[in-house]
Amino acid sequence: MRRLPDPVPPARHEMAASYISRLATIHGLDISHLWVQVTQREASGGMRRVVVPEKLATLTGRDIHDLAGAMPELRDPQPNWAMFRHQPQVGCHLCDAKYPGGVVTRLLPHHRYVCLRHRTWIGPPDINGNAADLSLLPAVVKAQRRHLRLMRRRGWELTFDAVLTGFMICGHIWNSPSRSEATDIRQIWEARALILIPPDEEAGFAYLNYSTSKLFAAVYPQAVEIAALLASPYWRRAADHRHPGRSRFFEEMSRRITYPYSEDPGGSDSIAHWSDAFAWRPPSRPMRTYSPARSTGIVAPTSETQLKRDFNSGFHFAIERRVGSALLRHNHIRPVIAREWNQRHEPIDEAIHQTRRFDAAFRVDAALYRAELGHYLIALRNNHEAAQKRHREGTDEKSTSPANASQAPRAAASLPHTPDRVGQV
């Protein structure tokens, strides 16, 4: 295999297929042909192919460790793909400007929402054109730094669940039609949305500049504020309905996002729903994970369904400016809308409604489920302890048998003559 004359470097967290596509474009080669040259069929025997790092290093003349450092797919052992978003996306357009050959598609981790170097919003995977300048919104940039600190302190799993739950709670609050006071947090979100998605002067509509990803930027500071609370073991215990200081959790939540806390929330409250149903559970994990094996080296374009969905969301945003439902319906927060332990397959509207239920029937069902789960875990622990006890009794019987007794002095004589070891024998 001959070395290419202009092997441009890969971008950080770039997909291998994206890098190979850029190499083919720069050198005027066929993408499919180049893809076959540097890949092999996966070990399972399927039709999908995986990149061979040695072949790609030979083709580009670059060190294999440098390539693996930039592209997670080439690392050995493979990274934990649950830490990355399952859907590739475009990163910061200012960072990508120095990489020729086409669009740079990246595999970003769950905690990456903002390019701190250029103060640009990257956001969750969405249609192209979701990047936004954050020069006028320093709170969003500050929230990314706090998000990184939270991840280093609590771990990626707990942070992943807490941030998505924060987005979900913000979506429910923004979707509420009432305004409690002049300083309502929704006023701030609408002001940020107006900066990120300005109305089109000629057409008079905002959907020409619309992207649901930019709406996540509007609520991102408050989502991280909520996540710091939900990821804390102390506050998770305080949120439990059996905890005597549960009201302090709601008061702290109200202090952080001006949430209209009430002693009797009625039948609809997403925060009270979380505290009863999920505060005592382990964090939710991603519903899908990325697979490095691909059948083709061409990065799939945006589907017509995604474009139509985005157009409809932009149209409703231009008319009503109420976009909480757009956040709640986005696939980015689906892991906390349809939790992994919920076996029921519900329509999206019903699943969203379930995430804010707090009526008497829900509280009774949650208490009964938790009690049944507690009895099951106690029985499981008792069975495990009984099995361990039987195993110890069987081991003691073998050690006191005549054959083992005759071998014990010889085993003891072979050990160092220290009081601790003799006592153990």
27-59 pLDDT, tens digit each: 999 999 999 999 998 887 778 899 999 999 999
Average pLDDT, stretch 149-159? 95
Task: Write down the H helix ranges in 258-359.
Answer: 270-277, 304-320, 324-329, 334-337, 348-354
Average pLDDT, stretch 181-200? 80
162-188 pLDDT, tens digit each: 999 999 999 988 887 665 555 578 888
Please determine, for residue 424, whether its predicted confidence score (pLDDT) is greater than 50: no
Please determine, for residue 401, whether its predicted confidence score (pLDDT) is greater than 90: no
Amino acid residing at 78: Q
328-384 pLDDT, tens digit each: 888 899 999 988 776 666 788 888 888 888 877 777 777 766 677 666 667 778 888
More confident residue, 369 or 389: 389
For 125, phi and psi rounded to 5 degrees?
Answer: -60, 130
56-99 pLDDT, tens digit each: 999 999 999 999 999 999 999 999 999 999 989 998 999 999 99
Write down the pLDDT at residue 405. 46
CA gap 93, 249 in Å, rounded: 40
H or E stretch at 222 = helix 212-230
Write down the pLDDT at residue 418. 37
pTM for this predicted structure: 0.83
More confident residue, 409 or 394: 394
User: Considering only 13-17, 200-204, 215-219, 303-307, which range has the smallest mean pLDDT?
Assistant: 200-204
220-272 pLDDT, tens digit each: 999 999 999 999 999 998 988 777 878 889 888 888 887 555 555 555 688 88
* Beta carbons within 10 angstroms of residue 134's beta carbon: 24
What band does 408 get if pLDDT is binned at 50, 70 and 90?
very low
Write down the pLDDT at residue 109. 95
Assign 3-class secondary structure to 35-60.
Answer: HHHCEEECCCCCCCEEECHHHHHHHH
What band does 407 get if pLDDT is binned at 50, 70 and 90?
very low
